[in-house]
Chain A
Amino acid sequence: MSRVNDHHTETTDTDGGGAAGASAGVVPEGSVAVRARQGGGSPGRTPGKGDRGNRSGRTGSRRAASGTSPLVSGGWTPWLYLAPALVVLGGLLVYPIYQLGLISFFQYTQAQVSGGEPATFEGFGNYAELFGDPQFWQVLLATVLFAAACVVSTLAVGCALAVLLTRVRAVPRLALMLAALGAWATPAVTGSTVWLFLFDPDFGPVNRMLGLGDHSWTYGRLSAFFLVLLEVVWCSFPFVMVTVYAGIRAVPGEVLEAASLDGASQWRIWRSVLAPMLRPILVVVTIQSVIWDFKVFTQIYVMTNGGGIAGQNLVLNVYAYQQAFASSQYGLGSAIGVVMLLILLAVTSVYLRLLRRQGEEL
């Protein structure tokens, strides 16, 4: 392991990450190689040592950066440039978040919306109602499990196909890339309807091919979730595949060659060489997938027709929507929104900490 790493460090230092430049085009050359090296160096060491190593790497790169590109302090100019963005984000992101929190503390139903009754402050009343409702816990559990299943499947499929891409010639690679781009580009609504049609009990080709007769996939709770999972994986694995593939291309071929000459299997190469080197990229795609899959809305809403039979396929997002817009329980819906926001903020803070530990310079 360490021998492979040393070898790798030497080669990246001499040829300066040409592969990264080739795949990255406009982006400054060699950054993947640099980052991959940092990631590759740390896993074997204790966290403290790894941190120190990264920190020294960071100051080094800062010094190098300040030599070539000094940032100027432009007085008010940067704020002038930032103003439109800050106004838009303040008005349509920060303010709504504040309002979401506010509404969640009020009794807010159709009567208050139409102005018939004043909104009454309820304190944590909505939250108490929510946490006392067994359906909420059931939905929360379903959301977490469903998101976890989606993330794991997406990452597994995406990484496996990225490795596969590196082992084939141009034509099969292009075919797979184009197919993946097509899946990626498909809007969530159309993807959902198309997958429903594929698995339709009466006219769908899948049941014919599998000889399932008129088995309904959306009737059972698990099979409905499974169908949605297939669609989610189908439309989100391309992002993982493309990103990881770009990362692998930046790894010098000699490293992989050395490993395979030493008799390492594909799985072993992935686990002991590629995965540690690609750790920074894997962190990004994992967190990104967690965030996307945790708040899946369209697929569940369309494919299970608003949450499935008796709400069996509800996830938090759809649940909040149904409470607010179908049952006019805006206060309760907002409380669910706050819970979602807090969970995702927790995920984000883990992400930021991981980035920091990798010596990310913002």
Chain B
Amino acid sequence: MNPLRARVRRRGRPAAEASALLIAAVVAFPLYWMVLSAFKPAGEIESSEPRPWTLAPSLDSFRRVFGQQEFGRYFLNSLLVAGCVVIASALIAFLAATAVTRFRFRLRTTLLIMFLVAQMVPVEALTIPLFFLMRDAGQLNTLGSLVLPHIAFSLPFAIWMLRGFVKAVPEALEEAAYIDGASRARFLWQILFPLVLPGLVATSVFSFISAWNDFLFAKSFIISDTSQSTLPMALLVFYKPDDPDWGGVMAASTVMTIPVLVFFVLVQRRLVSGLGGAVKD
């Protein structure tokens, strides 16, 4: 059986592995080019003979990026918005996911379907009413106008995905805790929460990304006070359609991509299993 299996598997493997590596190179190429261009000196970026390497890496583009346009401030703004969204939506989603997986109550199935449908709502279509809502609440030009909608939009998916993680905690543990005299709140925060935390982190990637990448709301709600701008808007400062500063754009892009990449690599394993869970259940 074993040698047979090995032979079946091995047939055509060199070709498969070569193409896998080739495709990996193609997929990674845009990111490589982005980082490379960020480090290239000005003369090499805007050259009609672009080379896939540089012999004189320079930090000029990064200096330009951080020097101009209060880039550091935009970076902090983005971080603040994404951080608030991640924490708030994780806590709210944890409570809601516990409610729908650990209790049986009327309207439970209806609620679950509503959460599913809510995921499908095109948030971009709601920009107009949200704009008026934020204006009436006096939130235009504040970071709050970016935090609040993103919490709402990342919740349904977070709840849906967390269900699998909450369900995986054995029911017997809950019974044991109650028998030992723990209150509901104590079980929730001291037992269930730490156990679900890894799943919570994986789920957070999605709310982090949606808040970090947000372009439309930042563009629509932060209209006059540029000190409240976030990274995607700052990036476009360098990108003028007629005469883009490619070095600056690529350096700013690199700065903007790195936090997400780091987050992704850290939670990668959990993410894959979490997605499997969300898709399965």
Contact = CB atoms under 8 A, between A and B. Distances in A.
Contacts of B13: 167-169
Nearest to B14: A168
A26 to B, nearest CB: 5
Given A185-B257, A337-B128, A73 B122 contact: no
Contacts of B148: 88, 92
A305 interface: yes
Chain A's interface: helix, strand, loop or mixed, by majority?
helix
Contacts of A347: 120
B46 A203 contact: yes
B93 A85 contact: yes
Contact of B213 (A31, A169, A188, A242): A188
How extensive is the interface on chain A, given as a class? 35 or more
Contacts of A188: 213, 215
B224 to A, nearest CB: 14
Interface residues of B, number: 116
B126 A100 contact: yes
B76 interface: no
Given A24-B273, A78-B100, A243-B276, A172 B253 contact: no
B8 A172 contact: no
Interface stretch (A132-140, A220-228, A318-326): A318-326
A25 B270 contact: yes
B126 A337 contact: yes
A187 B260 CA distance: 8
A96 B131 CA distance: 10
Nearest to B106: A73
Given A27-B273, A89-B155, A187-B256, A176 B27 contact: yes
B276 A69 contact: no
A182 B31 contact: yes
Interface stretch (B47-55, B56-64, B65-73): B47-55
A176 B28 CA distance: 9
Contacts of B263: 185
A214 to B, nearest CB: 9
A317 B125 CA distance: 7
Contacts of A72: 102-104
Contacts of B34: 190, 194, 197
Contact of B30 (A73, A97, A191): A191
Contacts of B99: 77-79, 81-82
Contacts of A164: 16, 19-20, 23
A11 interface: no
Given A73-B103, A78-B103, A88-B152, A291 B120 contact: yes
B276 A23 contact: yes
B92 to A, nearest CB: 5
A124 B82 CA distance: 39
Nearest to B171: A69
A183 interface: yes
Interface string B83-95: 0000000011101
Given A189-B213, A341-B125, A344-B120, A302 B236 contact: yes
Contact of B24 (A78, A179, A190, A330): A179
B181 interface: no
Nearest to A205: B50
B254 to A, nearest CB: 8
Given A176-B27, A190-B34, A297 B124 contact: yes
Chain B's interface: helix, strand, loop or mixed, by majority?
helix
A336 B121 CA distance: 14
Contacts of B235: 189-190, 193
Most interface-central of A197, A330, A347 (chain B CB within 10 A): A197
Contacts of B193: none
A74 interface: yes
Most interface-central of B108, B119, B171, B276 (chain A CB within 10 A): B276
Interface string A282-320: 001100000100110110011001000000000001001
Nearest to A160: B23
B127 A321 contact: yes
Given A181-B268, A334-B129, A81 B49 contact: no
B95 A81 contact: yes
Given A189-B215, A189-B236, A208-B49, A348 B120 contact: yes
B232 A82 contact: no
Given A172-B24, A321-B124, A197 B276 contact: no
B153 interface: yes
Contacts of B250: 193-194, 197
26 contacts: A27-B274, A68-B171, A77-B103, A82-B96, A82-B100, A85-B92, A92-B133, A100-B126, A164-B23, A176-B23, A181-B265, A185-B261, A186-B31, A189-B215, A189-B232, A189-B256, A194-B33, A194-B250, A197-B246, A243-B279, A294-B122, A295-B122, A295-B124, A297-B124, A321-B127, A344-B120
Interface of A: 20, 23-28, 31-32, 35, 68-74, 77-79, 81-82, 84-85, 88-89, 91-93, 95-97, 99-100, 103, 161, 164-165, 167-169, 172-173, 175-176, 178-191, 193-195, 197-198, 200, 202-205, 208, 234, 239, 242-243, 246-247, 253, 257, 260-261, 280-281, 284-285, 291, 294-295, 297-298, 301-302, 305, 317, 320-321, 324-325, 330, 333-334, 336-338, 340-341, 344-345, 347-348, 351-352, 362
Given A297-B216, A348-B117, 11 more contacts: A27-B277, A32-B280, A172-B21, A182-B28, A184-B264, A189-B253, A198-B33, A284-B279, A305-B241, A344-B122, A362-B109
